[in-house]
Amino acid sequence: MSDFDILDFATAEEKARIDSEGFTAYDVLKRFGGTRNQVSKWLAKKVQEGAIEPTGEFTHIPDVSGVPRARPTYRFVQKPVIKERKLGKHQARGLCWSDGVIEIDERLRGMERLEVLIHEIDHHLHPDKSEEDVAKDAETVAKILWQQRVRIVDSDT
């Protein structure tokens, strides 16, 4: 099976379901054929590559006999786009937008930059997480990485 965007081939109703609930192996099988084994291997490969992830939820879709069966759902992983600019007018060191854009204040350096970057990535990965939990986790991870000599190298080029 080759790479694809399942939404290119979905009906409007299917797109709405995939956007809200995710897609299943059945969706892939229905659109692109192949065997269940091929689809399972393809899904496992995409999960390993980080292109998709299981949602932890199940969607009830009728099988060939018409009986609804619970099927695990997957969603596409939206990779963040990280941009730098001055964020003084926002009174922020970093911002995470719902469209997947992360903005970091270009004036940040050293451990502060590392912590803000981790903080905003955590917001991107876990949009329902509270600000307090994100801040605490980002500080902890940044301290551990800093102790392990992880550094962001600033370049003027």
User: Per-residue pLDDT tens for 126-157?
Assistant: 888 999 999 999 999 999 999 999 998 876 54
Q: How far apart are CA 133 and CA 139, in angstroms?
A: 10
In whole angstroms, what is the distance from residue 38 CA to residue 77 CA? Answer: 21
The most confident of 29-33, 96-100, 132-136, by mean pLDDT: 132-136
Query: Helix (H, G, I), strand (E, B), or coil: what is residue 11?
Result: coil
At residue 8, the pLDDT reads: 64
Question: How high is the pLDDT of residue 54?
Answer: 87
Query: Tens digits of per-residue pLDDT, 106-129?
Result: 999 999 999 999 999 999 888 889
* Tens of pLDDT, residues 61-93: 787 788 888 888 888 777 889 999 999 999 999
Mean pLDDT (the chain, rounded): 85
pLDDT band of 105, cuts 50, 70, 90: very high
**Are the C-beta atoms of 30 and 51 separated by less than 8 Å?**
no
